[in-house]
Amino acid sequence: MAAQAPSSQREIRRRNLSRVLHAVAEQGPSSRATVAAQLGLTRTAVSTLVDELLRSGLLVEQGPTPPGGGPGRPGTALALTDRGPCGLGAEIGVDHLAVCAVDMRGQVRARGEIESEGRNSAPGPVLIRLQRLVDEVTVQAHDLGLRPAALAVAVPGLVARGTSRVVHAPNLGWHDTEIAPALAEPGTEAVPRTGARATDKPLPLIVDNEANLGALAELWLDPSRVPRDFVHVSAEVGIGAAVVLDGELLRGNRGFAGEIGHVPVRPDGPRCACGGRGCLEQYAGELALLDAAGITADGPRDAALAALRERAASGDRRALRALEKAGTALGLALAGTVNLLDPSALVLGGVLARFAQWLQPSLERELRERTAAPGAPPELLVSGLGADGPLLGAAHAAVREVLDDPLSYQATKEGISN
């Protein structure tokens, strides 16, 4: 009944190819019949789509499906390729840079990490170091028969929605920094980043806040564990949150949603760099926590955090008191969040996951006392991804560029326009 817009046949094909890929990504190796049943498409339609995906190399055949693997007679199992396209994830940390390559099956296949003092450093040199690391990981990936299809970068700061511009990254000291020119153009190093691709198009680039990518990693990598609605709170040097609603990240009008680190918890507290007073970050941020525990934060972050962990584990009263106070502050901010959003679960990530056992008692006490709705407050989950969440989220975001739009990938590969 709908009028056919010129592009709609291609759009339907694009969407259906993507649905087939996502079905196989979620279920693992699947027969055509299983895919057809899950998507509500006919077997003929699925076969046509699968043939196209086999030709383009995104799907491969793996021999017969195990008995009982789905309706209909046993067929050949379809799997995502573990060669060909991969997603590159990168993380710009306050004290390190990391890059990894994840194949279409979601496996980390190559990885590199270097120390990098990011605090108050000019963006240019940091991005040059990151580009070198991207190139190194690209070489590793090439050796495994993989070629990057997209690059996603996690940054500890606010990214303007739909752009690659870091508007404000206080812990790096970056303002209005455009990431794309340094990273998205064809490489000029020994191994051109786009060398395995038939065109000179720049590698598709995604730049996103680290807390957003950490939460998406939780959703994408562990879908059976987290519900479709949750608030993810994580700390690296700063504290960030991500609100996931029905499986989608809430980005906000300008892309700045999730700044829970600056929710006021003590309105008359000390002045914060954001201009406010008594922000959550001043009680539960890494520096506040180390300071309250009497640990110097001048040296490497890892050493300081290990010292805090050791002291807490050995029952050091000052360390325990610091963690208890941080948990209380988190509980205050999260009680407000729960009253406002009524999420199914809260997830603690990053450094907060590492110290969860000491944060939880006071955090949960505040939640119980301060949530207005009757019944138990939402479940409090601890991330299993630890500090790797944002990096893995970035790499998976890059992989999903291919899953979401296989036609573009094919067009690039084949050098044809779509």
Positions in 225-244 near a copy of itself (CB under 8 A): 227, 229, 241, 243
Q: Judged by CB under 8 A, how many residues of this single chain contact a copy of itself? A: 61
Determine if 45 is a binding residue for a copy of itself (CB under 8 A).
Answer: yes
* Cα 313 to Cα 322: distance, rounded to the nearest angstrom: 13
| Closest among 136, 96, 135 to 116, alpha carbons compared | 96
147: its two tokens: 């070629």
Interaction between residue 162 and a copy of itself (CB under 8 A)? no
Residue nearer to a copy of itself on the CB measure, 191 or 287: 287
Relative orientation angle of helices 317-341 and 356-370, to the nearest 10 degrees: 40
* Closest CB 91 distance from a copy of itself, rounded Å: 21
In the complex with a copy of itself, which residue's Cβ is closer, 5 or 190? Answer: 5
**Cβ proximity to a copy of itself, 190 vs 372, nearer residue:** 372
Query: Interface with a copy of itself by CB under 8 A: which range of 38-46, 69-77, 92-100, 147-155?
Result: 38-46
Contact between 31 and a copy of itself per CB under 8 A: no
Of 102 and 169, nearer to a copy of itself (C-beta) is: 169
Chain centroid offset of residue 62 CA: 30
CB 400, min distance to a copy of itself, A: 21
Q: Is 42 in the site for a copy of itself (CB under 8 A)?
A: yes
SS3 label, residue 273: coil
142 binds a copy of itself (CB under 8 A): no
Q: Shortest distance, CB of residue 214 to a copy of itself, whole angstroms?
A: 16
Q: Is 258 in the site for a copy of itself (CB under 8 A)?
A: yes
- Edge-first strand order for the sheet with 230-235 is 248-249, 239-245, 230-235, 345-350, 379-382
Alpha-carbon Rg for the chain in angstroms:
23
**What is the C-alpha separation between 201 and 224, in angstroms, rounded?**
37
Binding to a copy of itself by residue 22, rule CB under 8 A?
no
AA letter at 105? R
Contact with a copy of itself (CB under 8 A) among 86, 155, 260, 385: 260
Our CB check for a copy of itself shows the closer of 87 and 278 to be 278
Query: Residue 263 Cβ, how far from a copy of itself at the closest point, in Å?
Result: 4
Closest CA to 378 of 349, 403, 411, 345: 345
Query: Binding to a copy of itself by residue 302, rule CB under 8 A?
Result: no
- 8 A C-beta contact, residue 293 and residue 287: no
* Interface region with a copy of itself, contact rule CB under 8 A, candidates 63-71, 205-213, 270-278, 407-415: 270-278
Among 198, 245, 303, 313, binds a copy of itself (CB under 8 A): 245
* Among the listed residues 275, 298, 317, 417, the single contact to a copy of itself using CB under 8 A: 275
348 DSSP β-pair partners: 233, 382
Indicate the pairing of strand 239-245 with strand 230-235: antiparallel
When asked if residue 190 is in the footprint of a copy of itself (CB under 8 A), the reply is no
**163 near a copy of itself, rule: CB under 8 A:** no
Q: Which pair of tokens denotes residue 363? A: 């955090």
Q: How far apart are the first and last CA of the chain?
A: 26
- Count of CB atoms situated within 10 Å of the CB of 418: 13
Tokens of 343: 């999420």
DSSP-derived secondary structure for 352-394? HHHTHHHHHHHHHHHHHHH--SSSPPPEEEE-SSGGGHHHHHH
Element (H, E) at 230: strand 230-235
Q: Does position 173 bind a copy of itself by CB under 8 A? A: no
**Residue 195 near a copy of itself by CB under 8 A:** no
Q: To the nearest whole angstrom, how small is the minimum distance from the Cβ of residue 403 to a copy of itself?
A: 19
Q: Under the criterion CB under 8 A, does residue 264 sit at the interface with a copy of itself? A: yes
Min separation Cβ 183 and a copy of itself, Å: 23
Which residues are paired to 347 by β-bridges?
232, 381
Q: Which parts of this chain interact with a copy of itself (CB under 8 A)? A: 1-3, 5, 12, 16, 40-42, 45, 158, 167-168, 175, 227, 229, 241, 243, 245, 250-267, 274-277, 279, 332-333, 335-337, 339-344, 369-375, 378
